[in-house]
């Protein structure tokens, strides 16, 4: 029976790692497309997002099957529960990536917009994603400290960026084209949500290793 559940856990791990790779790649593609005003990747991002949702369902179904068939012990149950939560996080990576490219599709072109605040914040968010995926691959919960520190920076940048966008939109004589400010506010929000899910993945890794959801929450 142990061998059989291990086969299932290995399959679960394989799906989660596929989602981690695809989720990270999809967000990178969306951010790059925004920076370059490139809508040619819209279909690719949509398909990747759909694939992530499909894999999330697969994780849920496999997890339920493993619990029902094998009544896993505490450590295995923690892993299964964490995989279900992480699959949701990776699925949201895909969803927010599609939201980012959708902003460009609806409000673009944005070539004349000042994208510096979003580019700066996106670099931090991508570092958080990369670190959370690395933590998952190695099951190293010590990486969570760095992720939480970066999240604090993202929260500051998000609030600052949204305030500035609102202030600019109220100055119609100086900023007649509000597409830049609307797009900035939306994308900053999507990036902030991606950073939250990177933290949740770090929480899950910590839970797998220690049985505690988070060292700071």
- Look at residue 186 and tell me if it is in a domain: yes
- Look at residue 42 and tell me if it is in a domain: yes
Could you tell me the pLDDT band of residue 170, with boundaries at 50, 70 and 90? Answer: low
Please tell me the total count of domains within the chain: 1
State the burial class of residue 112 (Cβ atoms within 10 Å of its Cβ: 0-12, 13-18, 19+): exposed
DSSP 33-72: HHHHT--TTHHHHHHHHHHHHHHHHHHHHHHHHHHHHH--
- Look at residue 217 and tell me if it is in a domain: no
- Look at residue 216 and tell me if it is in a domain: no
**pTM (2 decimals)?**
0.92
Percent of the chain whose pLDDT exceeds 90: 82
Determine the average pLDDT of the residues in 101-127.
Answer: 93
- Look at residue 215 and tell me if it is in a domain: no
Model confidence pLDDT, tens digit, residues 65-83? 999 999 899 999 999 999 9
pLDDT at res. 14? 97
Of the candidate ranges 114-118, 124-128, 170-174, 184-188, the one whose mean pLDDT is the lowest: 170-174
Give the separation between CA 88 and CA 55, rounded to whole angstroms.
10
CB 20 within 8 A of CB 90: yes
Could you tell me the pLDDT band of residue 171, with boundaries at 50, 70 and 90? Answer: low
Determine the average pLDDT of the residues in 131-142.
Answer: 96
Residues making up the chain, counted from first to last: 217
Quote the domain boundaries for residue 39. 2-210
- CATH classification at residue 122: 1.20.58.220
Model confidence pLDDT, tens digit, residues 7-64? 999 999 999 999 999 999 999 999 999 999 999 999 999 999 999 999 999 999 999 9
pLDDT at res. 164? 87
Q: Is the pLDDT of residue 1 over 50?
A: no
Sign of CA dihedral 24, 29, 30, 35: positive
């Amino acid at each position: 029976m142990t061998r059989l559940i291990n086969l299932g856990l290995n399959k679960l791990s394989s799906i989660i790692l596929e989602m981690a790779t695809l989720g990270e790649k999809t967000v990178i593609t969306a951010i790059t497309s925004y920076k370059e005003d490139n809508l040619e990747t819209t279909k690719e991002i949509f398909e990747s997002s759909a694939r992530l949702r499909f894999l999330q369902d697969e994780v849920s179904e496999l997890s339920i099957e493993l619990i029902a068939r094998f009544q896993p012990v505490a450590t295995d149950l923690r892993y299964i529960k964490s995989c279900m939560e992480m699959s949701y996080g990776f699925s949201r990576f895909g969803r927010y990536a599609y939201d980012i490219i959708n902003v460009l599709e609806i409000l673009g072109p944005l070539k004349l917009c000042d994208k510096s605040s979003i580019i700066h914040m996106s670099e931090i968010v991508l570092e958080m994603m990369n670190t959370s995926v690395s933590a998952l691959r190695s099951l190293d919960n010590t990486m969570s400290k760095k992720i939480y520190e970066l999240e604090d920076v993202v929260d500051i940048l998000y609030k600052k960026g949204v305030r500035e966008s609102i202030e600019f939109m109220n100055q119609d004589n100086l900023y007649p084209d509000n597409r830049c400010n609307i797009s900035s506010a939306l994308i900053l929000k999507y990036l902030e949500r991606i950073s939250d899910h990177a933290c949740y993945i770090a929480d899950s890794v910590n839970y797998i290793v220690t049985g505690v959801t988070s060292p700071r929450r």
